[in-house]
Amino acid sequence: RVLRNGKVVNYHVYSSLWSSIKQEATTILENSCWKVGSGCSIDLWTDSWCGNALAETLNIHPNVLIWLPQKQVVLPFEPLPDVLVWSGNDKGLLTLKDAYNFKRNHFPVLSWAKVIWCIDVPPSRSLLVWRIMLDKLPTDDKCEFAFGLWRWLATSLNLVLQFQSMEDIWNLCDKARSNWKSSMTWIAANVVLAGNHTKALSSGTINDFSMLKAFMVTVHPPKPMSLKEVIWQPPPPQWIKCNTDGALTPSASACGGIFRNSNAEFLCAFASKTDMASAFSAELCGFMTAIEIADARGWRNMLIESDSMLVVNAYKSSNLVSWSLSNRWFNCLKLAGHMNIIVSHIFREGNHCADRLANIGLNLDRLTLWNDVPFVVKDSFESNRLGKPFYKVVHS
């Protein structure tokens, strides 16, 4: 009530004793120390948990403390051996490939590399162009005749072309390719307006197929498309279903989930920022948060649903989980051992509630719980409750 993060609050507290005790609060804190339990309430640097505070022992200036990491390490429920892991690998193993990628010279990405190394260009020609671009071909350093020819062509076409290097020529090719794409788009649009837009063969006869086969031409007919109905289903009686999902942007990642009972009634929802580097890790955090909340609330019959098959497979095989999440994953599996848990997959079209909650988590600072339906998911929640179908395009 009177302490926040180990410090005395600044606002007024209605108490007949606090006004007198507050004057001695500094003395009380200086002569107190923390008994370590879960560690969630202890500040590593400023609190006294192993003698004097580390900031005092190491003589760290208060301005420097702001930049020191304020992170918590998840400890396993049971004693596990300490393991030295390679931080550049999700598995924590230093393989020969990882060692090579770590030691090799990392050259800048070249814009023309993917253009010349493709299936449409013979490897011998790709190698020749590669040597030309890297100036490894035994020719004159500067071919004035070639550049003069390009300047003449630019003058003839009334274009402004600058050719100081081979890179300039490749940039011109990129511009020409964009113009070519624009022309093809215009032609395709006119074909559609003319009503002759089709991918079907002009004359799909046996003779045509025989001729194509004789020339060893592989025919790739368009795959038929079908609509698959996706409906969110409530769990069986006495069970609770939690739909989870993750979200990833270039600057942040988050997870979210929603709990519902067998009558499709809302029980709880959560969202949290995860600070993970991959969508899979964010989705795993959503899965683990669901188990932790279920255990805290005493829900023992859980059906957890995710639109990621990787999460479903990770529950079957822990080898898919990265080393940075392994301790928390180990703890969640221990909690799951005291529950009846079924993990299933659902298409994204039936997981809209969890998807929107995960997007909310991108703007949050900590784990947030809702005991009422959040406004942003009300429409999706009602659609699921009423059994409204959604449709997914499937290429069979």
Q: The domain containing residue 250 runs over which residues?
A: 230-395
Residue at 242 is within a domain: yes
**Whether 66 contacts 60, CB under 8 Å:** no
Residue with the larger pLDDT of the pair 64 and 147: 64
Q: Say what the pLDDT of residue 73 is.
A: 75
This model's pTM is above 0.75: no
Domain boundary among 65, 94, 116: 65
How far apart CA 133 and CA 113 sit, in angstroms, is: 10
Residue at 146 is within a domain: no
Q: Is residue 104's pLDDT more than 90?
A: no
Residue at 47 is within a domain: yes
pLDDT in tens, 9-20: 555 555 655 565
Looking at 97-101, 208-212, 245-249, which range is the least confident one? 208-212
Q: Say what the pLDDT of residue 218 is.
A: 78
Domain boundary among 11, 38, 65: 65
Computed over every residue of the chain, the mean pLDDT equals 79
Residue at 387 is within a domain: yes
CA distances to 60, 108, 262, 265 from 291, in Å = 39, 44, 18, 19
Residue at 354 is within a domain: yes
Residue at 243 is within a domain: yes
What is the average per-residue pLDDT within 225-252? 90
Number of domains in the chain: 2
pLDDT in tens, 260-318: 999 999 999 999 998 888 899 999 999 999 999 999 999 999 999 999 999 999 998 88
CATH number at residue 252: 3.30.420.10
Q: Say what the pLDDT of residue 199 is.
A: 53
Helical (H) or strand (E) element with 244? strand 240-248
Domain boundary among 18, 33, 65: 65
Label residue 201 by pLDDT band (50, 70, 90). Answer: very low
Residue at 154 is within a domain: no
What is the average per-residue pLDDT within 110-130? 80
What is the 3-class SS of 328-376, one letter each residue?
Answer: HHHHHHHHHCCCEEEEEECCHHHCHHHHHHHHHHCCCCCCEEECCCCHH
Torsion of CA 49, 53, 54, 56, to 10 degrees: -170
| Residue labelled with tokens 């900031």 | 55
| Residue labelled with tokens 């809702």 | 370
Q: Say what the pLDDT of residue 163 is.
A: 58
Residue at 186 is within a domain: no
CB atoms closer than 10 angstroms to residue 18: 15
Torsion of CA 161, 165, 171, 172, to 10 degrees: 40
